Every structure is written in C-alpha cells, then in structure tokens.
Structure 1
Amino acid sequence: MQEGVTGMLSWTGERIIPKLLKPTNGMLLEHIARYYFATPYIRGRVLDLACGTGYGCHMVAKDRKREVTEIVGVDIDPETVEYANREYNHQKVVYQQGDALDPHLPEKLGMFDTILSFETIEHVADDVRFMDQLYRLLKPGGTLVLSSPFGRGRGMPTSEPFHVHQLTPEEFQELFVRFSDVDIYYQRGVTFEKPRNGVRYFIGVAVCTK
C-alpha cells in the first residue's frame, strides 16, 4: 500500500484498468465520461494529478492534440506509473511518480494551463492543503476541472474503504472560493447537468478559472 495523494490506495484498490474491465462496466464509463466532459476546457500544458493507469491522459492527448502542448500525468504509485508508461504511451504525455502534497511539487513540475483532478480529493485528509497545492500549480487564467463524490461531510466516516471522507455539496462548493469563476455540475452516470429539484446527485464536478 502506498500513502500520499491517493490516501493509501493499493495497486488493486480503486485503480481503473480499462483493459481488465468490460466496456459496459459502470465505474469505467463514469471515469471515461469525466475526461470527455473536460476535453473542451483542456489546452496548453496539462497536469493530470493522480492520473492512475494513464488511459485519461492518452484520451486527452488524442482528442486535444492541436490544443495541448504537453500532458504530465502524476501518480503516487510507482507500479501504476510503470503501467501507464507501458500501456498508454504518447509523444505528448509524460508520466512520473509524485505526491500531490509534496510542498516542492510546484518547483519540480512548473505551472500548468489546465489541471485535471478526478476522484482524488476524497482520499486526502487535508483537502484545504490539497486545494492550495492545485492553486499554486495553476497559471493565472488557467482552468481546474475537479470531481469528487458527495457524502456525509468532512471528518465523517464513509462506507468506501479507500475514502478518508466525502464532502457535502456545500463543502464541495466552498473549496473553490479563491477562483475567479466557478461552474458546478453534477454527474449522473455518464451525463452532466446543473441541479434539478427532486434529483439526488452523488458526484460533483467543478470547472474553475484562476
């Protein structure tokens, strides 16, 4: 087990490995949908923090080849980074091992026009520090696209074994007060929408401009 950005995730914990899953697997489809949702916002130098097995970086590199100059995929687990380099290699993508809470990460990586962070913050005990790190890594005018499942709230237990906690929708929105422009969407399966009365949502997605 590895401690760090993914909050003690093992290689088989919550890693999405598309080649080992059926194409109709619900979790796989939800994860892929988040990358497709994010593609219109992706440009320039891109960071995928807690990139996992690399399928998302590869998707983005192919879909946004004209808009993207470089994609850096960072994950805490060295086995995962090795797998990504082997299975999802692309000329515009660089995978490397790193901890999102490493205070020297901005100096090591530089700054980015776009940052993607999907299903990561719920694994981090200090979500405020995590958000501060993302803010330091993002260029002025840059875009952050971040998703997280909803739950009982900060510091409250969760039924998910790899989640430290799951924020409430209100706590989720409060994460982005430093950004100049914020749009919150809600994911239902592979669809994304603004909230509707009477509909319960389990995942929030924020699109933020610094």
Structure 2
Amino acid sequence: MKPTEERIVPEWMKPTNGLLLEHVARYYFAAPYVRGRVLDLACGAGYGTQMVAKLRKKEVEEVIGVDRDRDAVEYARRTYYHPLAHYRVADATDPELPEKLGTFDTVLSFETLEHMPDDRFFVRQLERLLRRGGTLVLSTPFGRGRGIPCKDPFHFHQLTPAEFHELFGGFREKTFFYQRGVTFESACREGVRYPFGIAVCRK
C-alpha cells in the first residue's frame, strides 16, 4: 500500500501526530452509537474497523470495513485482524451496494463526503444501507461550500455548516456535533472555528 496525503496509517505516523489523533478520536466518539451489524464505509487502512470491533465486541454482530482501494483492504486484512472484523473491496458510489452488502444497524463514514461529487446521492446511499432504526455517524470538514473548489486536491468541495445540516432531512432524528482537535462540542461557540462537522442520525 502506497502512502498518500489522504491516508491515515498509524504505523507510518508518530503517536502525537495531530491528524492521526483527530481520526482516532472520531472512532472513540462514535463507539457508543455502534451496535449490531456495522459498516465502516471508506475504512482505509482498517484501524478504525478493528477499533470499534474491539471496543464494542459485546454489542456488535460483525463490523465490515469497505474501501475501493484493493491495496488498502489487503493491508487491513493483514494488519488489523479481529474475529468480528471483515474487509471488502467495494465502491461507496455503486448503486447496487445495498444489494451487495445488505443492510446495517450502524453505518460509520468518516472523511468521505468531501470526496463525493454528488454528496446528496451519497447520503441517500447511506440511508439505503441502514435498517429502520439504524444509526449513521458521518463526519466531514467544513469549507467554502458546494461546488466551490478548495485547496485540498483530493476533495471535490467542502460544505458549509448549513449545507451539511440540510443533507439529513430524510432521517427521523439528527444531532450535530463540531470537532476541534480531539474535542467535540454540541453547539458552536461564538468566535470559535470548528474544522469538522459530525452528524449522528437515526433512520
């Protein structure tokens, strides 16, 4: 597996690396919501898939890590084994993905939305992957808005907080959080910039 600026691989990074700590913090944040059959969509190297399998081993049936990068999936299988964790190669934008994978009680998708040219379609795809009563935990960086190029060459765009909130109208319940470093807040404080938004939604 080749290193890229977008890939988080703990064994290639210092334990104090801020980007690594932010990503790991998101999985710890999501862990209390995880139950049943779990999908970690765009799992990358697989460390987070293994994390939630370990942290929630009494609450989960299985955790499936999916990524379109075959090398990443093979690396995850070699490096982040857990008896409840399984890894598969698949494309998050495949319209037939729900038929191929089935449905889930929990879907996690961290730092994926900004890579999607059609973020609305992607959220509808996640809804289709969730069972009734299931929970989605999704995070994305905030930016200048839909359709506006950003500095990151790997991102199509980065949504504004208002655009992000509007994506989840199809869910029965939704709560938003804001991440700054390894800390999470349930409301924006005046004068504070929050780089990341997190949606916790129930179908």
TM-score by length of 1: 0.94
Runs of 4+, deviation exceeding 3 Å: none
Instruction: Kindly provide the amino acid, as one letter, of the partner of residue 69 in structure 1.
Output: E
Structure 1 position 178 matched with structure 2 position 170: yes
Structure 1 position 55 matched with structure 2 position 47: yes
Give, in angstroms, the shift of residue 13 of structure 1. 3.6
The answer for unaligned runs of 5 or more in structure 1 is 1-9
In the alignment, the residues of structure 2 paired with residue 89 and residue 152 of structure 1 have an alpha-carbon distance, to the nearest angstrom, of 39
The answer for unaligned runs of 5 or more in structure 2 is none
Q: Following superposition of structure 1 onto structure 2, how do residues 150-189 of structure 1 map, counting pairs within 5 Å?
A: 150-189=142-181
SS for the counterpart of 1:131 is helix
Instruction: Kindly provide the amino acid, as one letter, of the partner of residue 28 in structure 1.
Output: L
Q: Following superposition of structure 1 onto structure 2, how do residues 1-210 of structure 1 map, counting pairs within 5 Å?
A: 12-194=4-186, 195-210=188-203
Structure 2 match to 1:5: none
Instruction: Kindly provide the amino acid, as one letter, of the partner of residue 162 in structure 1.
Output: F
Contact 1:11 1:77 in 2 (8 A): no
Give, in angstroms, the shift of residue 11 of structure 1. 5.1
Give, in angstroms, the shift of residue 197 of structure 1. 1.6
Total equivalences in the alignment: 201
Q: Deviations along 1:102-143, whole A, 9 cap, x unmatched?
A: 111101100000000000000010111111110000001000
What is the percent sequence identity of the aligned residues?
A: 65
Contact 1:11 1:80 in 2 (8 A): no
TM-score by length of 2: 0.97
In the alignment, the residues of structure 1 paired with residue 167 and residue 3 of structure 2 have an alpha-carbon distance, to the nearest angstrom, of 28
In the alignment, the residues of structure 1 paired with residue 163 and residue 68 of structure 2 have an alpha-carbon distance, to the nearest angstrom, of 26
